[in-house]
Structure 1
Amino acid sequence: MGEQRSWVSSSYGCDTDATCVEVAIAAGRVHVRDSRRGGDEDAPRLTFSVAAWTLFLAHTTAD
């Protein structure tokens, strides 16, 4: 049984059928998934270290 994660939907990029990116932080890792597959525990997801996620956000949100 996997650990319970609290997923948060992105505030950007959601369209009318609620297809968004969701993020959860658990055990010092940042997990990213497609909200359309949210309840599917076998669905693919990306996992980053907190440091890598911070760098990713810095580069994607830079002016």
Structure 2
Amino acid sequence: MRNELEWFKSSFSGDQGDDCVEVADGTGAVHVRDSKLELRAGSPRMTIPPKTWGRFIAELRASSLERPL
């Protein structure tokens, strides 16, 4: 069994690779981190229940954003 998370870069992140929010979906939760911080055990990240993440994304899509998700 593989327990490493597969991180995906946000579409709103900068193109230079230094200004990035990444998300990983796994282990029954959605994980969000700042890629500027070194990825290692104990690195700060948010762990969010999938239903809560779904509501958050739905609210973002329903709001008036300059750029769609």
Normalising to structure 1: TM-score of the pair? 0.80
The corresponding residue for 1:28 is 28
Q: Give structure 1 stretches of 5+ with no counterpart.
A: none
2:13 — aligned with what?
A: 13
Superimposed CA distance per residue, residues 7-32 of structure 1 (whole angstroms, 9 cap, x where no aligned partner): 01111132535311000011110000
Q: CA RMSD in A?
A: 1.6
Q: Using the alignment, how far apart are the partners of 1:42 and 1:26 within structure 2?
A: 17
Q: Which whole-Å deviations, capped at 9, do the CAs of 1:1-57 have from their partners, x for residues lacking one?
A: xx3110011111325353110000111100000011142322211111110000000
**5+ residue gaps in structure 2?**
64-69
Q: In 1, Cα distance between the equivalents of 2:38 and 2:56?
A: 22
Work out the percentage of aligned pairs sharing the same amino acid.
Answer: 38
The 1:41/1:19 distance shift into structure 2, 3 A limit, reads farther
Which residue is 2:61 aligned to? 61
State the aligned residue count. 61
